[in-house]
Amino acid sequence: MTAIEPSAGPASSSQLARERAVGAVQSFGAPIVLVIVVIVASFSFPTFFTATNLTNILLQSSFLLIVGIGMTFVIVTGGIDLSVGSVFALGGVLAAYASQWGWVAALVVPLVVGALIGAIQGALVAWGGMAPFIVTLAGLLAVRGIVLAITNGGSTTPLITDPVLKVIGQGGLAGIEWPVIIGLVLLVIGIVLLTRSRTGQGVVAVGGSENASTLMGLPVARVKMSVYVLSGIMAALAGALNAAYTSSGVPVVGVGMELSAISAVVIGGTLLTGGKGSLIGTLAGVLLLGVIQNIINQVGSLTSSVQSIVSGGFLAVVVIIQTVLSRQQRL
Amino acid sequence: MFLSERIGIHAALANPAVTSTRKLVPMALQRTSRSLVAAVGLAATVGLILTGCTNTGTDTKGSSSGSSEQTVKASDGPTCDLATYKGEKIDLKDAVVGFSQSEKEDNPFRIAETQSIKDEAAKVGVKKFISTNAQSTLSKQISDIQDLISQGANVLIVAPLNSDGLEPALSAARAKNIPVITIDRKLNAEACSDYVSFLGSDFVEQGKRAADQLIKGTGGKGKVAILLGASGNGVTTDRTKGFVDEIKAKGSGIEIVAQQTGDFARDKGQSVTEQLLQSNPEITAIYAENDEMGLGAQAAIIAAGKTPGKDIQIYSIDGTKNAVSQIVAGQYNGVIESNPRFGPLAFKTLKSFLAGDPVGQDIIIEDGEYDPDNAASKVDGAF
């Protein structure tokens, strides 16, 4: 007994420690890469690590962060939401249009419409049994069409003059802009919801195995429906805040935003196959995209084609690192 | 951000200048092989393929020859000076100049525009020149401009992606009293307060002049189809308005039989024209709101077994080398220029503004035009 214990103990505990370390690196992979990139950039560019520049990056990233929170929930269930860019644009146009009736209307109208679009898509996925990719692709096209239809083919831009809404978009508290504060508060709520609540556990379980979840008596369809509603609300809210920020509901915003949001979520360590996800990772993914863009601008002499190569290459490297780490953990 | 990649790749796949030009070569060869024009045409088309690969080089040569430097047509409106704008006096040589481009440099207009600004910055010898590209994303243009400001830009040259929505960027510049010159697209904002001045073409006038060329070329009669630019774009609205109004006023024998969008893209221009030629075989002329769509229309006309330039005339706006050399080849009828070489004029304006002199709030440039009479001699000045 005494002979076995010491030999078994260290062996299993060192293996456990190694697994734990790799696990930590994987779930904190994106934050770690983010820190490294920020440090390197700070030493390379004198104008990078300045208060103005860092708050700029935060503000620029806050809208994508809000969209990314909803997207994380959807992807954890094993789904995908391609409609967020269009819903983002619709949210902005509706907010600007409704701002003539005051700031409450400007926030409520987009949220209700966003929830409704999410509910329709969610119902088709959950009860219609259709592929999320196709359902939300249809959503992407149809909602963009609605945006163009209500703006005269994209030629009218409703403007925001409501002072409260302008403060929400452009003002701040203690030097931090409201969109950033709202994004971070939603992130904290999201983390609590995903990791500490029954609903969140249901979301993870459905993504892990739908059949097992059904057998366990989880309301699978309801869970699936709810994540699309959440995603629709988040995208519309981000759009409304962006409209407040730019003082106008520009119809052409958000084109391709779904891909940025998905990239950020995946960089953050959430598995596209579902069942595992991290909102802190999503935050890091969003910030990474913002920082990379900022660094490209700091260089200031790259042509648009080189910029694309750099950001594409970076995304590839991050995904490769993620994959290698998760493979090690499985072994 | 990464969303731009998708758009970029899509554009590259869907609209490769090289593939569509290549398609043209055997056709052009077949049709006009007997005349001398064929040799010229073939040489021009082969030239296109070559310039397609080494675009930047040719453009640099073109702009440094100065053959088509922008000249001011009208600047008689209100002016703006440093004191009114509350800016600081600074020598351009000590200034950090930031340039925010709106769209990818994947079309001749944007390539020539960026190159011209870059060249002139080097020529003037500014302290530092930083350029960014919003890749057709409004939020990216806002962050680009904010990034430029946080990098210490003293003056900004902005090619706005959209007339609205840049407010946060403009107010960031305003907060630091940084002068902003906007080029090629006008902002819905207050000149000399939100920005200093606007430099650009008169797009309505361009449409009007295209109509004049078309009326002259067709003898004032025929059935015309319009290939519209991207919807929701002010340039499209203006070029349509100028053209349609002028046809109404002076071309009573001309009937506009169709108006469809080709999104300013060559492949779209081609497919739309293919459909139009099937549904309206009686079309005798096409007005395309940019050269790329006009070249697409040309390919569609050839595919339909007709001769572009003769059976069906083509008129467009931009002044790219690709289109102008087709006029030389006799397969295209007219091009109204929209001069993208903003560098010299933008820096000249900045220089006088920073020296304290008043500059115009609306500086409208003079655009040239190409027709079968002058195309051969002026093709080298095209971009």
Q: Which of A63-77, B152-166, B228-242 has the highest mean pLDDT?
A: A63-77
Is A13 a member of any domain?
Answer: no
What pLDDT is attached to residue A325?
67
Query: Is B239:B267 a contact under the CB 8 Å cutoff?
Result: no
Is A331 a member of any domain?
Answer: no
| C-alpha to C-alpha distance for B6 and A261, rounded to whole angstroms | 13
At B58, the pLDDT band (50, 70, 90 cuts) reads: very low
Is A143 a member of any domain?
Answer: yes
Residues of B whose CB is below 8 A from A245? 168
Is A234 a member of any domain?
Answer: yes
Is A170 a member of any domain?
Answer: yes
What pLDDT is attached to residue A252?
84
| C-alpha to C-alpha distance for A57 and B335, rounded to whole angstroms | 43
Least confident of A33-47, B19-33, B207-221: B19-33
Q: What is the mean pLDDT of chain B?
A: 82
Query: Is B333:B371 a contact under the CB 8 Å cutoff?
Result: yes
Is A23 a member of any domain?
Answer: no
What pLDDT is attached to residue B180?
95
Q: Look at phi and psi of residue B367 and say left if phi exceeds 0, alpha if psi is from -120 to 50, else beta.
A: beta
Q: What digits encode the pLDDT tens for the residues A287-310?
A: 998 998 888 888 877 777 887 888
Residues of B whose CB is below 8 A from A294? 143, 147
pLDDT above 50 (res B5) = no
Residues of B whose CB is below 8 A from A250? 138, 162, 164-165
Q: How many CB atoms lie within 10 A of CB B221?
A: 13
| C-alpha to C-alpha distance for A242 and A88, rounded to whole angstroms | 9
- Report ipTM (2 d.p.): 0.76
Helix intervals (H) in A28-162: 29-44, 51-76, 84-98, 103-126, 132-150
Domains by residue range for chain B, with CATH: 3-65 (no CATH), 71-200+341-366 (3.40.50.2300), 203-339+372-381 (3.40.50.2300)
Is A105 a member of any domain?
Answer: yes
Residues of B whose CB is below 8 A from A60? 139, 142-143, 146
Element holding B225 (H helix, E strand): strand B221-228
What residue has token string 């993870």? A204
Note whether B135 contacts A: Cβ–Cβ < 8 A. yes
pLDDT above 90 (res A30) = no
Nearest Cα to B338, choosing from B280, B299, B291, B303? B291
| C-alpha to C-alpha distance for B83 and B177, rounded to whole angstroms | 11
Which of A:137-176 have CB within 8 Å of B? 148, 151-155, 157, 159, 170
Contact A300 B151 (CB under 8 A): yes
Query: Which residues, 6 or more positions from B268, have their beta carbon under 8 angstroms from its beta carbon?
Result: B15, B261, B262, B293, B296
Q: How many CB atoms lie within 10 A of CB B234?
A: 15
What pLDDT is attached to residue A203?
94
**Closest CA–CA distance from residue B295 to any residue of chain A (Å):** 24
Note whether A304 contacts B: Cβ–Cβ < 8 A. yes
Nearest Cα to B265, choosing from B83, B5, B16? B16
Least confident of A129-133, B15-19, B138-142, B183-187: B15-19
Element holding B140 (H helix, E strand): helix B138-150
| Domain total of chain A | 1
Residue of A nearest to B165 (CA): A246
Note whether A7 contacts B: Cβ–Cβ < 8 A. no
The percent of residues above 90 in pLDDT, for chain A, comes to: 53
What pLDDT is attached to residue B69?
74
Note whether A250 contacts B: Cβ–Cβ < 8 A. yes
| C-alpha to C-alpha distance for B283 and B289, rounded to whole angstroms | 17
Element holding B253 (H helix, E strand): strand B253-261
Is A309 a member of any domain?
Answer: no
- What pTM value is reported for the model? 0.78
Nearest Cα to A60, choosing from B164, B139, B101, B160? B139
Strands B334-337 and B313-318: parallel
Query: Which residues, 6 or more positions from A271, have their beta carbon under 8 angstroms from its beta carbon?
Result: A75, A277
What pLDDT is attached to residue A1?
41
- CATH classification of the domain holding A102: 1.10.3470
**Which residue range(s) make up the domain with A215?**
49-300
Which of A:75-94 have CB within 8 Å of B? 85
